[in-house]
Amino acid sequence: MDNRKSELNMNLKKIKRAIISVSDKSNLKLILPILKKFKVEIISSGGSFKKIKQMNYKCVEVSTYTGFSEMLDGRVKTLHPKIHAGILNIRKNKKHRQALKEKKIPDIDLVIVDLYPFEKKLKETKNFQKLIEYIDIGGPALLRAAAKNFNDVTVISNIDDYSNLVEELKINNGATSNKFRKLMSSKAFGLTAYYDSAISNWFNDELSIKFPEKKTLHGKLIENLRYGENPHQEGNLYSSNDNINLKKIYGKKLSYNNYNDIYSALPILKSLKKNQGTVIIKHANPCGVSVEKNQITSFKNALSCDPLSAFGGVIAFNSIISKKLALEINKIFFEIVVSKGFKKDALKILKKRKNIRLIKCENFNFIDKKNFLFFGEYFLAQDPDNKLINKKMKIVTKKKPSKDQIQSLKFAFNICKFTKSNAIVLVKNKSTIGIGSGQPSRLDSCKIATNKALEFSPDKIINSVAASDAFFPFPDGVEQLAEAGVKAIIQPGGSINDKQVIKSANEAGVIMAFTKMRHFKH
């Protein structure tokens, strides 16, 4: 037991000298009293030095400490051997100790640093030169030096850890444990990596480099989820922004699958006419989409596409939910309701539903610069699929579509873009009536889509239109759709059997349009 105590004491490192250089000075009042209590000498510079002095705490300015004035408009402040040797020396290394003694350099045991708010400025200005000046050099150097030497030095890189530092110093009488220093070191390296990644990606965007030789992804932990895809898996949500611009206003914590469905709904919602769109998602696939001026009609049309699959799914609106709509929504169980907003009386009604979650997406801005797919140590990267048709659709059959049919075809093809391949979408006017998704065979998707329509909307399938995310390899898919009552089909074209497929459409009296653009989604 005594040996364990001795080992623990050896791991404790007393803090005698600290350097503080922070942009966010709001919480200095939390740590300065404890540093004063344990007689820690404080070194600081610029605004941090002035703030500490204003708060009536003793502090030595960096330029006074090093004997070297700040220069280059503040670009060089803490980049000095007296600072970095004081941090980086290994206390048990005799050569290091002798070198410091000869140069009269004291140890620095605590580094409290945050970084210039580059990402914040990135939101405020596009001025390249101004942003360059918000790339911190001295801060990351201090953090990395302290983090590397965690055996002897404590580093604090996050304002949220000030209270943890205070508690650690109280427990250990002015010292820190190796476990605490190691944890803080990990956080510091995480911050500098994140910071450099944000700058690197900004540079790539500025230079229009879509696929650089070295690619870094950065994200902040936003939320610990209920679980991952399954309850035995842990899940978390990260964002490259400070938040996700989604506000949960009612209900329990979200899971991995919940967010996957929400993020599947939002881009579809964005593609629809404002204040008219309804999207129902189940397992990341749309199972009902409608655009109607009347909110109730839009909802009912989307629901009628596949009411069985809609049960327990996610429903999203690009409008504010009214009392009347809330009453209709509550007639079926939806796990999550997403909308631009909720009327007060609508909220009261929806909250009566057990286990429902209500999400406000009013401020959500879907910026999809790249799509990534991860396989352990590897990942694929690609441009987002943000186009619909290559220039102009080409009508390849004898029969030509009406203006209304053209609009319905475009709507159907748009929904195909968000449906997992192989995708077949049946539409009447601007509402889906049958969706076949995620099948290895396109013919199977045709059968699923038509069977859904025949089951739930038999009166609508006659004279409906259909969309296919990729070409029909054989005429059988077209024959299946025509037999069910489809009168117009939109597809990319490009099969070696295009002539046979077109011939089949002509024989069935079906209009066919080629887009020359495929929309696989895996």
Catalytic residues: 148, 283
Asked if 413 and 390 touch (Cβ cutoff 8 Å), the reply is no
The amino acid that residue 167 corresponds to is: E
Distance CA 281, CA 58 (A): 60
The amino acid that residue 77 corresponds to is: K
Distance CA 130, CA 202 (A): 13
Reference 358, options 303, 415, 320, 309; nearest CA is 320
Distance CA 486, CA 475 (A): 14
Does residue 332 sit in helix, strand or coil? coil
The residue written with tokens 């809609």 in the block is 310
Over 296-360, what HEC string results? HHHHHHHHHHCHHHHCCCEEEECCEECHHHHHHHCCCCCCEEEECEECHHHHHHHCCCCCCEEEE
Q: Is 128 exposed, middle or buried (0-12, 13-18, 19+ CB in 10 A)?
A: exposed
Q: Give the pairing type, strands 314-317 and 277-282.
A: antiparallel
Reference 78, options 60, 90, 51; nearest CA is 60
Asked if 17 and 82 touch (Cβ cutoff 8 Å), the reply is no
Does residue 261 sit in helix, strand or coil? helix
The token duo for 20 is 């503080």
Distance CA 84, CA 82 (A): 6
Cβ neighbour number for residue 89 with a 10 Å cutoff: 20
